[in-house]
Amino acid sequence: MNGHRARLFTIKNMDCTDCALKIEKAVSKLPGVKLAEVSFVTSKLKVVSETPQLNDQAIIKTIKDLGYSAQTEESFKTITFHIEGMDCPDESEIIKRR
């Protein structure tokens, strides 16, 4: 399946909005990256990539090279999956009662 994948990272060591912009610019230059958005307030980096193959490690390395550290958060898809999963126990209860 073709499509975009959104990923979330937590950035550490940012001390001003310029840092956020620096990271944004560097990450958006990576091949396959469609959008890179850094929020200095929440210390989060959102990356939307065209290729699902784009390695999280490549993004983390780019950030490290700039002197910051980054941690992967769960991808948006995974978060969606967890939210959907919350409906499941009720559903399986209903199925069991039949």
Contact set with Zn ion (CB under 5 A): 15-16, 18-19
Give the relative orientation of helices 17-28 and 56-65 as an angle to the nearest 10 degrees.
130
Residue 13 vs 57, nearer CB to Zn ion? 13
CB of 26 to Zn ion, least distance (A): 14
CB of 22 to Zn ion, least distance (A): 7
Residue 58 vs 67, nearer CB to Zn ion? 67
First to last CA, the chain: 36
